Amino acid sequence: MKNSFKQKVAQAPQFGLWLALADHYSAEISAGAGFDFLLLDGEHSPIDLRTILGQLQAIAAYDVAPVVRPPTDDPVLIKQLLDIGANNLLIPMVETAEQARTIVASTRYPPLGFRGVGSGIARAARWGNDPEYMQTANDNICLILQIESVAGLANLEAIAATDGVDGIFFGAVDLSASMGLLGQPNHPDVIEAIDTAMGKVQACGKFAGFLSADDAISRHFLANGANFAAVGVDALLLSNAARALAHGFKQPDTVIETRGY
């Protein structure tokens, strides 16, 4: 297997940064920071296939794994992402085992799935320079599905147990909204629900992850066995630090939180 992220996440917790700046130049800055993975967010940042490609190319020179989140589970976009070389996918808003099975099938070549065959002219197979790509591609996919609604939680074990699903990511922001706690991703009820759910995922032999820019929350989930942790967001690092710098000089007594969302 050539997917280092898929191998490493089974051995030790992986730490990453959420990329929402939608830019290859800032992605390369983050790639050199020392994270294990970078999450290229296509759901809540203005990226498209071209900007994802640019970020993948900028990151490729560094020892960090790109994980790409498309805005939906659209099989056409998943095909395109796989063809440009995105091996690690995070698919948002998964709520049923049937949806999970369809997503898995969209990432696999026949007979295991229905991924269109075009890698011979694509970056994924280095334009014909990786003759073994089609034979190894299925095994090198790392597929992470997002559970971020009450409906998804209700079907969690069936989703996690689906063949081809490697991990489950818990989206506390959307889950809290679904639980009637809009804007409260760190609410105790949300944390408790994710704690319980993470245990069920690992009982299925799959890995579990989350995003939080609150250190205490991140350390809580890691202490409870989380396998991958996005511990910050590039856009917020810039926004909060810039705000702190501006206010710091204008109002020396002001203390501005430089992280968090």
Query: What residue spans of the chain are helical by DSSP H?
Result: 4-8, 24-31, 49-59, 75-83, 97-107, 133-140, 150-154, 156-160, 172-178, 188-203, 215-223, 234-250
CB atoms within 10 A of CB 196: 12
Q: Which two tokens stand for residue 43?
A: 């759901």
Q: Are 66 and 43 in contact (CB under 8 A)?
A: no
- Is 44 part of the annotated catalytic residue set? yes
3-state SS string for 161-208: CCCCCCEEEECHHHHHHHCCCCCCCCCHHHHHHHHHHHHHHHHCCCEE
CB of 124 to ligand LXDSK4UY, least distance (A): 26
Could you say which of 211, 226, 231, 235 contacts ligand LXDSK4UY (CB under 6 A)?
Answer: 211
Integer Cα distance of 65 and 81 in angstroms = 15
**What is the footprint of ligand LXDSK4UY within residues 62-81 (CB under 6 A)?**
none
Integer Cα distance of 130 and 165 in angstroms = 25
The residue with its CB nearest to ligand LXDSK4UY is: 171
CB of 236 to ligand LXDSK4UY, least distance (A): 9
DSSP label at 95?
-
Catalytic residue among 24, 44, 220, 247: 44
Handedness of CA 10, 16, 22, 24 (dihedral sign): negative
Segment interacting with ligand LXDSK4UY (CB under 6 A) among 40-48, 103-111, 122-130, 134-142: 40-48
**Interface with ligand LXDSK4UY includes 235 (CB under 6 A)?**
no
CB atoms within 10 A of CB 63: 11
Find tokens 């105790």 and name the residue: 188
User: Whose Cβ is closer to ligand LXDSK4UY: residue 67's or residue 122's?
Assistant: 67
User: Whose Cβ is closer to ligand LXDSK4UY: residue 124's or residue 207's?
Assistant: 207
CB of 230 to ligand LXDSK4UY, least distance (A): 8
Binding mask 170-199 for ligand LXDSK4UY (x = CB under 6 A): -xxxx----------x--------------
**Interface with ligand LXDSK4UY includes 44 (CB under 6 A)?**
yes
**Interface with ligand LXDSK4UY includes 95 (CB under 6 A)?**
no
User: Whose Cβ is closer to ligand LXDSK4UY: residue 4's or residue 184's?
Assistant: 184
CB atoms within 10 A of CB 56: 21
**What is the footprint of ligand LXDSK4UY within residues 97-156 (CB under 6 A)?**
146, 148
Footprint of ligand LXDSK4UY (CB under 6 A): 41, 43-44, 146, 148, 171-174, 185, 211
- Catalytic amino acids? 44
